């Protein structure tokens, strides 16, 4: 289910209770923590719900992220961070690293990781629509729109939040800047494939279609070059061979 119709798996995460007995007191604070717990669970459920649409995803994501901001930004609107930022440990797997999780005690890490999954969901939604037979013009536009949203989310995470992490992401992890850039370019390339398909359907000039195809191929090559940087050969003395990692 986590793969759906798209090649990149969703990130998995450990449950978070948001129970802080003795630290957060009062009914209002308890209500916020309860809402955080339920909104996080709801968002995670929607990632694998085939009936979920972009409106449902946006509503659930907005609900959770608006509450999570209280763990990141100070409520007095100062430039200082919230005192709750480092109170909770979060665990997430990476899309290219199997099921070995990364963990950070940082609400910004949670914000970026969950946002990454939201972006992945939009790519999967687009792929599911694109895989239908006899796709309509409106559905093609929805595919294009979803891929643009995904690219925008990846770009926002890369430019506005990655630098705020106290512990920088390891090379090859989802939150490493070059990998995020590769995802951005992949979304741009796939969105342009929709444009090419539409141009062919409308019988546009072959020269225009060829130019679009050439530009799209360059997108994929650029993303591919970024991905090559994540892998390397290492000498394994025990086997006396070079092993690809």
User: Is pLDDT at 56 greater than 90 in this prediction?
Assistant: yes
Taking the domains of the chain in order of start, what are their residue ranges?
27-230
pLDDT of residue 98: 76
Q: What pLDDT band is residue 3 in, cutting at 50, 70 and 90? A: very low
Record: fold of 27-230: 1.25.40
What average pLDDT does the chain have? 87
* pTM for this model (two decimals): 0.87
Cα distance between residue 88 and residue 20, in whole Å: 9
pLDDT of residue 229: 61
Contact between 143 and 136 under an 8 Å Cβ cutoff? The reply is no
Cα distance between residue 72 and residue 86, in whole Å: 9
Q: What pLDDT band is residue 6 in, cutting at 50, 70 and 90? A: low
Cα distance between residue 111 and residue 156, in whole Å: 12
How confident is the model over 16-55, as pLDDT tens digits? 999 987 777 788 888 999 999 999 999 999 999 999 999 9
User: Is pLDDT at 78 greater than 70 in this prediction?
Assistant: no
In Å, how far from its chain's centre is CA 236? 34
Q: Mean pLDDT, to the nearest integer, of 163-190?
A: 92
């Amino acid at each position: 289910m986590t793969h759906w119709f798209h090649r990149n798996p969703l990130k998995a995460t450990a449950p978070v209770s948001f129970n802080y007995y003795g630290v957060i007191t009062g009914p209002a604070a308890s209500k916020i923590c309860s809402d955080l717990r339920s909104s996080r669970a709801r968002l995670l459920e929607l990632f694998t719900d085939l009936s979920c649409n972009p409106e449902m995803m946006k509503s659930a994501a907005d609900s959770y992220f608006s509450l999570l901001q209280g763990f990141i930004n100070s409520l007095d609107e100062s430039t200082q961070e919230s005192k709750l930022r480092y109170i909770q440990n979060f665990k997430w797997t990476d899309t290219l690293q199997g099921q070995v999780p990364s963990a950070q005690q940082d609400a910004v890490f949670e914000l970026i990781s969950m946002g990454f999954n939201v972006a992945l969901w939009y790519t999967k939604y687009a792929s599911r629509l694109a895989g239908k037979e006899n796709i309509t013009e409106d559905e093609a536009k929805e595919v294009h729109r979803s891929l643009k949203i995904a690219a925008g989310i990846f770009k926002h995470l890369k430019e506005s939040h990655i630098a705020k992490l106290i512990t920088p992401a390891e090379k090859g992890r989802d939150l490493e800047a070059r990998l995020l850039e590769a995802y951005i370019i992949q979304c741009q390339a796939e969105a342009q494939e929709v444009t090419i398909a539409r141009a062919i359907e409308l019988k546009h000039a072959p020269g225009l279609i060829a130019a679009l195809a050439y530009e799209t191929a360059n997108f994929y090559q650029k993303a591919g070059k970024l991905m090559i940087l994540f892998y390397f050969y290492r000498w394994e003395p025990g086997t006396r061979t070079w092993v690809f990692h």
